[in-house]
């Protein structure tokens, strides 16, 4: 499968697009952040 064929989402913190990863296979519907850094900074970005 080509990377361009994989599903993509937009990070709720930084707004950048990111694509499906194998480690997210079981929880893809729950993934909201592109990285651990965005997940850690979710409160400060959302409150602004």
How is residue 3 written in tokens?
Answer: 């990377």
Query: What's the confidence (pLDDT) of residue 23?
Result: 92
Domain ranges in the chain? 8-20+31-47
Query: What's the confidence (pLDDT) of residue 42?
Result: 77
CA dihedral 48→15→36→38, nearest 10 degrees, is: -10
Bridge partner residues of 9 (DSSP): 18
Query: What's the confidence (pLDDT) of residue 5?
Result: 84
pLDDT for 1-48, tens place per residue? 787 788 999 999 999 999 999 999 999 999 999 999 999 987 655 555
Query: What's the confidence (pLDDT) of residue 46?
Result: 53
Helix (H) or strand (E) holding 8: strand 8-10
Query: What's the confidence (pLDDT) of residue 9?
Result: 95
Q: What are phi and psi of 7, to 5 degrees?
A: -65, 150
Q: What are phi and psi of 18, to 5 degrees?
A: -140, 155
């Amino acid at each position: 499968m080509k990377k361009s064929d994989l599903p993509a989402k937009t990070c709720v913190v930084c707004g950048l697009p990111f694509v499906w990863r194998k480690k997210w296979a079981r929880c893809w519907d729950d993934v909201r952040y592109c990285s651990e850094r965005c997940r850690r900074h979710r409160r400060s970005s959302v409150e602004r």
